Structure 1
Amino acid sequence: SDRSGAPNSTGAQRENKHTNNSPVCGIQRDNGTKMSQDQQAVNGVSCVSKVLTLDTMNPNVRRVEYAVRGPIVQRAVQIERELREGVKKPFTEVIKANIGDAHAMGQKPITFFRQVLALCSYPDLLEDNKFPEDAKKRARRILDACGGHSIGAYSASQGIECIRQDVARYIERRDGGIPSSPDNIYLSTGASDAIVTILKLLVCGEGRDRTGVMISIPQYPLYSAALADLAAVQISYYLDEENCWSLNVEELRRALKEAKQYCKPRVLCIINPGNPTGQVQSRQCIEDVIRFAKEEHLFLMADEVYQDNVYADGCKFHSFKKVLFEMGPEFSSTVEMASFHSTSKCYMGECGFRGGYMEVINMDPQVKAQLTKLVSVRLCPPVPGQALLELVVNPPQPDEPSYSTFMKERTAVLAALGEKARLTEETFNSVPGITCNPVQGAMYTFPCISLPQKAIDKAKEEGLIPDMFYCMKLLEEEGICLVPGSGFGQKEGTFHFRMTILPPTEKLKVVLQKIRDFHLRFTQEFS
């Protein structure tokens, strides 16, 4: 086969009618010598190996891993295909609890959002009296800001001006009046695109001067994947599982001190509320992190896409920007930071629209010009995603006809998530061998699982990490698709899995019961 793995035997199966020395792929020369792959030919025409092979491609891309859509998910897709083809399994459906895709899990879209997006997509509906006037007003405002009054037109690279203005006003309201400038707002293709863009600006140097980026372990694999792609140096700091996945500044100091021996630490990434761990950071913790970033001259990246997803009593979301500015000019005028938000999570769950924004703080004006140049290369974020973001930051107001329905739907989604967070924690903690911290926020749980030594040995026999072996067996036996903790990082000798709490409550109960039954059976099998 060629290096892509595709069979390359066509020429060998044909009768060899060539009488000269012109090579034919897969056959011998007239003198009997075997041709190298680089010298093979097709239909008698000389050729060389492919320009792009595993050996010649960008080696950084080969190092990229993304567990959330990794091998176990690929196997889940195969099993779904087998079920459709009538293959008998111990279950009738695959439940994908591996990813925070709310609508795929059955969450209904917010009515007002979809009404306005429908009007923007098909403006003739503006004449239809089925749509409330506030939805029409929003749609007209968005369309008036688009080229040709169409969301099919490109926008400015930084995003539509009036939407950036509304994002800035939203941030000001959220943070109690702390000013926000539209010039510091960049709309993006979800938060992920903005995160990668900022990392591109930050990564430089060679050898021991190569940029080091501090990321939490467990982490969301976007970060490790982006750092591998950029050939940056990953600096791992561990969250404290024994204390509800809290962040300890002493652990930051340990990780930084070790990293200085082989790279130049320049960036500190924080996810709050946490993914995959679901913790919500206290205000005191955020202050400590900001002081640490200032002392060590680090650029702060605050991933705050779950800011509305806070469930636990006594927990509250504090934005890094708000805390930064309330700490006074010593910090607010010096600490460089980018914060990120998205339309994909919270109560919206609109993952497919790929809407998001970042706000940059204290960025050097010349670097900011380079950032604007960099985002212009991609022309603009998806305009329907920008329109959706506009509705998230500028929702119906109390005096508007859609307000009552909007608030009812929003409250119901968040209340259901809070109920499912508690249900998940309680159920897992009732299973011998599973320990689950409170799901304080976000959309996931990251329980610790105890695996018998025989199971660990069996996994090694099969060339698998033990928690991958566990999750693959769960998929094959129960049809539940989870992501092993090894895909997010974990302390040596510990095993976990990440599961989203998004399935509807009744289906979530089924999922939790299946995992409970499987874990007891698995433990017994390998005891």
Structure 2
Amino acid sequence: MLLSTSTRINHLSRIRLPSSIIATISTTSSYRSLSTNNPTTTSANTMLTPPPTPKQPRSNLPGSNNTKPGRTLTLDTIHKSILNVEYAVRGELAIKADKYTQMLKSQQGEQGEQGGKDSGLGGMESRNGEKGEGKEKDGKDHGDLGERLPFDKVVTANIGNPQQRGLDQKPITFWRQVISLLEYPDLLSHPLTPQIYPVDTIERAKKLYAEIGSVGAYTHSKGVKEIRERVAKFIERRDGFPSDPEHIFLTAGASAGVSQWLNVALSPGDGVLVPIPQYPLYTATLAALSCHPVPYQLQESSGWSLSQPVLQAAIDSVDRDKTPIKALVVINPGNPTGGCLEEKDMREIVRMCHDQGLVLMADEVYQTNIYYPETKPFVSFKKVLRTMEREQDGENPITPGVIELISFHSLSKGVSGECGRRGGYFELVNIDEQVVDQIYKMASISLCPPVTGQVGVDLLVDPPKPGEPSYAQFEKETNVTHQSLLDRSAYMSEKFNALPGMSCQKAEGAMYLFPSIEMPDKALKEAEKRGKPADVMYALDLLDATGICAVAGSGFGQKEGTYHLRVTALCPGVEEYVGKIEEFHKDFMKRYA
């Protein structure tokens, strides 16, 4: 369905913003004046299933005639959409791995603290391991705290959390020095400080302290103005096009930004095109909003590429009168695939958003994790969009100012790995100013993003420069981290491709590999007997046998009839780690041959 230019101008100003958002808080003009001062994880064929009809309240709720005591909050009375939300990377496998971590701590007695460090799961919330509960009915679950496990540590290959205990990626020294001075600003004037901290670290901390004050105080709801200005300069250096700091929002990580944006942009029943496989943040958030993921399949055989005909087929599969498709999500570099888009494919995506009236959501949090920049460099969607807007002499040019883009970045990935600091940003391009006001209004409800996370964003976009005292160490640390990720990723894909019944596309970026498993018929029947997807059974059995916690491909979505496993390239001791997977996989294939 080709939309005319006249019907596309100010697309987001005319879309059905939820009335609750428009009515919330106060008039938006005051916010603009202040701003210058201070999924369910489902299979593709079920993604369009409407949310369930809410049940009637229980009779013992307030206002009913039945005064019998009882709990107000039950699964029958909480918001129905929440029951549809699933998040695979923190799901069943992670909970079970947590339990095994507690078992190892118990068995190690006085050395429990060291055991927790080695286990690699110390940074995850323990849900049921404290009591040794949660024993599974199927597989080789080890449910008794007194039982000896067949492994001495749990390896967390399920989530991109580089500084987690057991993964232990070294924090960037410059970051920690600056933030430590801001956490205890008395050090800025202490006579011994110049003997401990490089002079550029002290100068940066003083500059930030003058701009922010105490990191324990609220900031502007968009984030500190001076930091947003430096983010804008970073984007301008990267893309060669201007960036407006008033259209940049600092966030508590990219995930919070995605949720914040979708809550403003979507109404119940709207559809959003999401890649399959995809990071489950998107389907989970859409499920919570009673909206519909519209899946489009990435092409595994060509390095997880994005095909315009596949996108068009996904759009054509939906009755847009019943399910208005409002946005298109692209993750580049890809999670969980590790694929990087070519610029020609990105141009096709921009063209499709122009012709179909779609908001383009560009998840670009892995833009620093590029393994082969000579052949597959990172190019931002903003650069592609602005370049195409400028090309008005060619055939069928796009209309400038029409395509709405929101792009996300984070300090959790890249070579920083500061996941727990919760910092990120999104930039709005070609978004109607009245909608920007509504986004700001909703951001103000949370008051402000974490302040040390905002500081982290500042250090991300404005690191030490050549010639400055901290530059040499910064360059060395970041190069070591980047090279380690590349080396592990290449080693893992080579080993996986050598295994019978397993194939793996070489990762071109991000932090993950997504190998495909050819499930034997006997394994499929056993999985059906256990009541689990076959790749979930595989991942659970892998955890039981080796202590390696990975995520089944079904948690990200995958082409029907295929099975995958997502593993990170973050684990040290990769030879031992992959060796255990190799041994387990060969035994699995032999057992179910």
Normalised by the length of structure 1, the TM-score is: 0.89
Which residue of structure 2 lines up, in the alignment, with residue 3 of structure 1?
none
1:191 equivalent in alignment to 2:254: yes
Residues in 2 aligned to 1:135 and 1:122: alpha-carbon distance in whole angstroms: 14
Residues in 1 aligned to 2:186 and 2:283: alpha-carbon distance in whole angstroms: 46
SS in 1 for 2:526: helix
Which residue of structure 1 lines up, in the alignment, with residue 232 of structure 2?
168
Q: Shift in Å at residue 49 of structure 1?
A: 2.3
- Deviation track 1:171-208 (CA, whole Å, cap 9, x = no partner) reads 00111x31011011100000011111111122126xxx
Which residue of structure 1 lines up, in the alignment, with residue 219 of structure 2?
155
1:180 equivalent in alignment to 2:243: yes
Instruction: Specify which of 275, 300, 316 is matched with residue 377 of structure 2.
Output: 316
Residues in 2 aligned to 1:374 and 1:55: alpha-carbon distance in whole angstroms: 29
Which residue of structure 1 lines up, in the alignment, with residue 275 of structure 2?
216
Q: Shift in Å at residue 141 of structure 1?
A: 1.4
Instruction: Specify which of 180, 204, 211 is matched with residue 138 of structure 1.
Output: 204
Q: Shift in Å at residue 511 of structure 1?
A: 1.4
Q: Shift in Å at residue 420 of structure 1?
A: 1.2
SS in 2 for 1:90: coil
Residues in 2 aligned to 1:384 and 1:287: alpha-carbon distance in whole angstroms: 36
1:77 equivalent in alignment to 2:98: yes
Q: Shift in Å at residue 332 of structure 1?
A: 4.4
Residues in 2 aligned to 1:166 and 1:386: alpha-carbon distance in whole angstroms: 11
Q: Shift in Å at residue 48 of structure 1?
A: 2.8
Q: Shift in Å at residue 374 of structure 1?
A: 0.6
1:338 equivalent in alignment to 2:368: no
SS in 1 for 2:362: strand
Compared CA separation, residues 73 and 162, structure 1 to 2 (3 A) = same
Aligned partner of 1:470: which letter? Y
Compared CA separation, residues 331 and 89, structure 1 to 2 (3 A) = farther
Q: Shift in Å at residue 510 of structure 1?
A: 1.2
Residues in 1 aligned to 2:232 and 2:575: alpha-carbon distance in whole angstroms: 40
Residues in 2 aligned to 1:301 and 1:223: alpha-carbon distance in whole angstroms: 11
1:58 equivalent in alignment to 2:79: yes
Residues in 1 aligned to 2:465 and 2:153: alpha-carbon distance in whole angstroms: 42
1:300 equivalent in alignment to 2:360: yes
1:461 equivalent in alignment to 2:461: no
SS in 2 for 1:85: helix
SS in 1 for 2:479: helix
Number of positions where the alignment pairs a residue of Structure 1 with one of Structure 2:
478
Which residue of structure 2 lines up, in the alignment, with residue 117 of structure 1?
179
Residues in 2 aligned to 1:187 and 1:388: alpha-carbon distance in whole angstroms: 11
Q: Shift in Å at residue 260 of structure 1?
A: 2.6
* Structure 2: segments with no counterpart, 5+ residues: 1-57, 62-66, 108-146, 391-397
The 10-residue stretch of structure 1 (352-361 or 331-340) with the greater mean CA deviation from structure 2: 331-340
Considering only aligned residues, what root-mean-square deviation do their CA atoms show, in Å? Answer: 1.5
Match runs of 1:345-360 below 5 Å? 345-360=413-428
Instruction: Specify which of 421, 427, 432 is matched with residue 495 of structure 2.
Output: 427
Match runs of 1:270-309 below 5 Å? 270-309=330-369
Q: Shift in Å at residue 331 of structure 1?
A: 4.7
- Contact 1:39/1:49 (8 A) holds in 2: yes
SS in 2 for 1:156: coil
Instruction: Specify which of 381, 384, 389 is matched with residue 328 of structure 1.
Output: 389
Residues in 2 aligned to 1:322 and 1:85: alpha-carbon distance in whole angstroms: 54
1:365 equivalent in alignment to 2:433: yes
Which residue of structure 1 lines up, in the alignment, with residue 288 of structure 2?
229
Aligned partner of 1:158: which letter? K
SS in 1 for 2:85: coil
| 4+ residue runs over 4 A deviation | 37-40
Aligned partner of 2:558: which letter? Q
SS in 2 for 1:360: strand
SS in 2 for 1:339: strand
Q: Shift in Å at residue 50 of structure 1?
A: 1.3
Instruction: Specify which of 412, 432, 451 is matched with residue 519 of structure 2.
Output: 451
SS in 2 for 1:340: strand
Residues in 2 aligned to 1:488 and 1:131: alpha-carbon distance in whole angstroms: 44
1:247 equivalent in alignment to 2:268: no
- Deviation track 1:89-131 (CA, whole Å, cap 9, x = no partner) reads 1110010100000111111000000000100101122221211
Aligned partner of 1:154: which letter? Y
- Contact 1:447/1:497 (8 A) holds in 2: yes
- Deviation track 1:196-224 (CA, whole Å, cap 9, x = no partner) reads 1111122126xxxx311000000000000
- Deviation track 1:467-526 (CA, whole Å, cap 9, x = no partner) reads 00010001001111000000000011110010000112xx22211111111011011111
Which residue of structure 1 lines up, in the alignment, with residue 587 of structure 2?
521
Q: Shift in Å at residue 412 of structure 1?
A: 1.3
SS in 1 for 2:317: helix
Compared CA separation, residues 331 and 271, structure 1 to 2 (3 A) = farther
Instruction: Specify which of 317, 329, 346 is matched with residue 269 of structure 1.
Output: 329
| Higher relative contact order, structure no. (Cα contacts within 8 Å, ≥ 6 residues apart) | 2
- Contact 1:112/1:135 (8 A) holds in 2: yes
- Contact 1:324/1:331 (8 A) holds in 2: no
Normalised by the length of structure 2, the TM-score is: 0.79
Which residue of structure 2 lines up, in the alignment, with residue 67 of structure 1?
88
The 10-residue stretch of structure 1 (291-300 or 76-85) with the greater mean CA deviation from structure 2: 76-85
- Deviation track 1:237-284 (CA, whole Å, cap 9, x = no partner) reads 000011110000110100001123541111000000000000000010
Aligned partner of 2:272: which letter? V
Q: Shift in Å at residue 328 of structure 1?
A: 2.2
Which residue of structure 2 lines up, in the alignment, with residue 238 of structure 1?
297
Which residue of structure 2 lines up, in the alignment, with residue 483 of structure 1?
551
- Contact 1:300/1:337 (8 A) holds in 2: yes
Which residue of structure 2 lines up, in the alignment, with residue 21 of structure 1?
none
- Deviation track 1:450-482 (CA, whole Å, cap 9, x = no partner) reads 111111111111111110001000100111100
Compared CA separation, residues 522 and 299, structure 1 to 2 (3 A) = same
Residues in 1 aligned to 2:475 and 2:400: alpha-carbon distance in whole angstroms: 34
